Amino acid sequence: MTAIGVSDPLSAAVVLDGEIDISTCPAVRGLLMAAISGGNVHLAVDLSGVTFIDAGGIGVLVAAANRARQAGGGLSLLAPSPQVRRLLDVFHLDAILPIAERLGGPSVAGSAA
């Protein structure tokens, strides 16, 4: 489903792939919130392998971004697929869920489906 790579004590890269929908949202939410609660307040979420995301999935990302900001950090998206980018554009979420350049370093992977 997902994996986390910690690059320093306050940062982590989370890689998601597959579908983020009503059936996978609880696990994705739990993972992101646990990372933030564990001190990784700067999250980069790699969405390059996400083939589908529904409004619930977007809600999970927004909630995690808000929690990270409250903890003094932030959340950015890496390489969203065209399908994901289209949904982000429809909801005008670029200020809340900024898209960042791909991070260097070790790659971690997982599947949301």
Has residue 96 got a pLDDT over 50?
Answer: yes
How much of the chain, in percent, has pLDDT values that exceed 70?
A: 81
Question: How open is the CA angle 101-106-111, to the nearest 5 degrees?
Answer: 80
What are the tens digits of pLDDT across the range 44-85?
Answer: 999 998 999 999 999 999 999 999 999 999 999 999 988 888
Mean pLDDT taken over the chain? 83
Numbers of helices and strands, H then E, in the chain: 3, 5
Structural domains present in the chain:
2-48+64-100 (3.30.750.24)
The pLDDT, as a whole number, for residue 20 is 94
Give the pLDDT of residue 7.
57
Specify the pLDDT at position 9: 65
**Distances from the Cα of 8 to the Cα of 5, 43, 93, 110, angstroms:** 9, 11, 27, 20
pLDDT given at position 107: 36
Say what the pTM is.
Answer: 0.82
- State the Cα–Cα distance between residues 65 and 98, nearest whole angstrom: 10
